[in-house]
Structure 1
């Protein structure tokens, strides 16, 4: 009898390592939990751990979905700007999650990547909110910081969403182990569902 071997995961997602002093490495349990959720509920076959990829690395083109987080400063070199732009216009997708304090820095740096584009707030009817999980009111609010509603912004290149910026939301914190932030499980599930939407969108638009 022929033994059937389980299919080995070949697809991976990555966390972006960047310069400038910001804590790019924050939320250590987030992506493994999101990957597990996507494998279970979207029937994906993602490798169970995320890779780490640098902004200027040629390896960036291996990943349909790259996640970026942090609280502080971000600085892209000229070479990194060109590499990230090439990645995004070639079909890649960057999710930027403001972990509180990232906003002004990432807007400045992404303007270098796409000087001709502006982040625009996406309508709740956008496909990013209409994947497997429906979010008719946009992003879930995971953590409170400045008493502002969560907002989802996008950079749209030639009609395609290439980068999604979750602001005043702390989406990645919601993906963490429950023991990290002690968020209610219902809220964690909403955060994971929205994260799954992002991954599903990135993989189907790649």
Structure 2
């Protein structure tokens, strides 16, 4: 017990003083490396607009590695299969309950795989839809209608789901929005500037919320 308390205290201090973020690498064959320009662009936007000081040299960490505990914010994306071993799931669960935050952005096709694997992480918790009046939609910029739609895939409305631990949102799953595509360099998807701006502003909300809660 003493070791666990000491670990959590150490992690808390790391999270308080660090603004570094990382990309989460996972097993299963899904393309965790999708949208390579997305996170660097979001970091620059945040540093320029919401007074963050995030390291622009974004690292990649494996879900089963203790390296994830160096970062208060992890970002995960992809199109396909995701697999967490039991050790991966335990490591991620410990990270999230000790103060970390994970944003999973479905880049189209990820949903059935990630929802199954998240049951390994939190067997007794379900992804629940986040209401439009939640603080994450107004942390830096107002999104009164909730999650913005960035890319069309199946014609479905964008949805934000979360997992809460003791009333703290520890995991955000953005579905049918494709925020990461909107964060990418303009020439990658040729999105209009106003669409990219919406994506970046929502991304800034997520970052700000994660750092302050």
TM-score (norm 2): 0.91
Partner of 1:131: 139
Shift of 1:49: 2.4
How many angstroms apart in 2 are the aligned matches of 1:76 and 1:144? 29
Partner of 1:186: 194
Structure with more of its chain in helix, by fraction:
2
**Alpha-carbon displacement from aligned partner over 1:80-132 (angstroms, at most 9, x marks no partner):** 01000000000100000000000000000011100111001110000110111
Partner of 1:201: 209
Match of 2:101 in 1: 93
Count, aligned residues? 197
1:32 aligns with 2:34: no
CA displacement at 1:12 relative to structure 2:
1.3
Structure 1 unpaired stretches of 5+:
1-9
1:80 aligns with 2:80: no
Offset of 1:43 from its aligned partner? Answer: 1.1
Partner of residue 11, structure 2 = none
Out of 42, 46, 50, the residue aligned to residue 50 of structure 2 is: 42
Please list, as runs of the form range in 1=range in 2, the aligned pairs for 1:48-197 lying within 5 A after superposition: 48-197=56-205
Give the distance between the partners of 2:57 and 2:82, measured in 1 at CA.
Answer: 24
Which consecutive residues of structure 2, in runs of 5 or more, have no partner in the other structure? 1-17
Q: CA deviation at 1:11?
A: 3.1
What is the TM-score with the length of structure 1 in the denominator?
A: 0.94
Question: Is the Cα contact below 8 Å between 1:35 and 1:49 reproduced in 2?
Answer: no
> Does the CA-based 8 Å contact 1:66-1:95 persist in structure 2?
yes
Deviation readout 1:125-164 (Å, 9 max, x if unpaired): 0011011101000111110011100000000111000000
Shift >4 Å, 4+ stretches: none
Are 2:19 and 2:211, in contact at CA under 8 Å, matched by a contact in 1? no
